[in-house]
Structure formats: C-alpha cells, structure tokens
Structure 1
C-alpha cells in the first residue's frame, strides 16, 4: 500500500481522483478483469487519458471477501467527463446494488442495479491447483460453477469464488428471485452442496 499511496499523491497533483466502491465480492484478478480493465478501456475509447491509481479487495478477519474499491485517475480538466464516462461504463458492465462512486471525496453517489448471492459450500475446502494468474482452484468447485452458469443462462453468472475453510461462490444477476431459484434447485439435487447456504450480498 505504501507504493500506491505514493503513486496516488503524485497523480493527484495533475489528475482528478474518482473513487468507486464496489459491493462485489471479487478476488483481485477478477476485480481487474470485470471492472478495472473495462473501465480504463472505456475511458480511453472516449479520448480520456486514465489509469487505476489504487485498488483493493477487503476481507474479514476470517479471510472472507467483503467488497472492493478502485480509484481511477483522469485529467483534472476532464474530471466531469471522466466521472460521466465511468458511470456509463459501470452501468454497461453491470454493477451490484450498494456500490457507490465519488469524486474529490464529495457525497457518495449510489450506482448499481444487480443482485448478488453468496453460495457457501462447506464440503469444498482444499485448493487443487493454482493457475498461471495465481488464482486458486478446486476441480469440483470449477465444475459446479460451470453448472451454475449453465442453469442461469442469461439471468446471471458466477463472478468470483474463494476457497478458504470451505468455499464461497459469488453469483450476480438481474433478479434475486431467479438467483435463489437456480441455486436452491442445485442445493437440493447436488450431493456436493450438502449443508450449503445462501446469503444475499447485494
């Protein structure tokens, strides 16, 4: 964090800082794939020089993922346009309810419409392998997430997961009812999900 604080101080001398709080439970690499990279690409497509000044994923003391934060920098003379373009990009990407955006630490502006549900899988508690992006996997969990995505179709998808003393799978979509319907059906039929629970997270 020391490097990021230094970078942020240096950047704010010539850039407006736009802070986005994401009510999304994402591993760092998933946060970058789903939000950081697409937002920066959208800003650049709009003709704005931009970059990520700081980013992080918050965990509980028990090492359960809670939320994410990303700070984007845009030229000071394009601050208002940058704020507009970031909001536009977040809406296009799809952002969970409870997320906020602010510039210059002013009042938080709510953004986001998607619902989120965390599926707790107590029977999956071991990492089988780590991929070339340093993301930890369990093969049974990977197969389960494919089944979840298939069952949801266009109604939602798995955004991230975390294997730690059991596993958490984070699923987002347009309808909380539909997310529960699909996940409850899988819990009722899949032995791997014995003892699994659902928690609304957005």
Structure 2
C-alpha cells in the first residue's frame, strides 16, 4: 500500500487543534480538492473556525485502487458543537457513509459520519474485442450515466488499473443507482464483463 498525493501541508499554529476527516470516498487528489477541501476551507475561514491543512489519498493494490482519502483540518475550537458543525458541512459536501473524524488526542473517540452511498463500476479493459475498445469513449459513458442518474447520484471519482477502469458513483441510495445503471451497462458493448459493487 502507498499513501500518495499529499499535495500540500500547512503547519498548524499552536492555537489550532488538528482533526482528520477520513473520507470513505474514492476520489483522485484534484477531485478531492474540488469536492471537499476547497469548499470546506472556504466555509471554515468564513465562519472563523480554522482552515484545511492538507490532504492525501490512500492507494491499495489492484484491483481495488483507491481505499480512502484524508482531509486534515485545523480548528480554533474543537468543542463537540463545532465538531458537529464540521461533520454537518462534510455531509453537505457529499461525504459517504463509513467516513470518520479522527483526533490527535487518542483519548477522544472518533466520530462516524456520512450520508451518501457508493457504487463502483469496474470496466473490463482487456477481455473485450479490440473493435469495442476502438469505438468506446469512457467520457461519453460517464456523461450518459450521470444524465440517467439525475438526482439519484453522480460520478465523483475514478481509478485506472492495468486490467480495469473503476468509476465511482455516489448518491442517496445504492439500490436506486444500481437500478438505473445496470440496464445501461447490460446493453452497451463497452460495458460487457463489467462489475457493479457497493462501496459505501
């Protein structure tokens, strides 16, 4: 396993308490910043609560790809009320179920949070006919699936392995996302031999 893509790390001041949001979200570093870090930092600063100090993405061996991502937060006040507000903001930003807020103070219990459920679509990259790959466009597939999902979910992350490309979708209900996505993947030539799994 390797912990990669820690893009930046601000030094916390003595006045800040560091907490880590371990997000059960399979997103790339740039997506992590756009979806979670940047809007969270803007909100923290606007409320005079602190700032985002850094972030990282945990990669694991194939075929699993991304395991989770971390967002490190410096809080000027880490009382239970403020922590509850931070958790509520992360859930507003679509934090998936299975996420956890961790404290440097090991005596303080972690806080479980997250509302979104997750679906992984694994695209087979080796066993389909060559003409299928020649005529396939994964970006067009993503647009089609996002349009079909509507408010039921959206693609937030991806990972490319040597044999599979993983697309990660998040929404209020895994069952509803699967109900919408499966007929499309069953019908398309480029999604044959694909796998759909629940990830949150």
TM norm structure 2: 0.82
Aligned-partner Cα distance in 2 for 1:200–1:12? 40
CA contact (8 A) 1:46 1:85 kept: no
Aligned-partner Cα distance in 2 for 1:24–1:66? 8
Q: How far apart are residue 175 of structure 1 and its match? A: 0.9
The residue correspondences of 1:67-86 to structure 2 (distance < 5 A) are: 67-75=68-76, 78-80=77-79, 82-86=82-86
Distance 1:29 1:88, change over 3 A: same
TM norm structure 1: 0.81
Q: Indicate the residue corresponding to 1:155 in structure 2.
A: 152
5+ residue gaps, structure 1, are 126-138
Distance 1:49 1:20, change over 3 A: closer
Q: How far apart are residue 88 of structure 1 and its match? A: 2.1
Structure with the largest fraction of helix: 1
Residue by residue over 1:13-46, the C-alpha shift from the partner in whole angstroms, topping out at 9 and shown as x without a partner, is 3310111110010011111111111111111221
Aligned-partner Cα distance in 1 for 2:52–2:110? 21
5+ residue gaps, structure 2, are 128-135
Aligned-partner Cα distance in 2 for 1:187–1:161? 17
CA contact (8 A) 1:18 1:83 kept: no
CA contact (8 A) 1:20 1:69 kept: yes
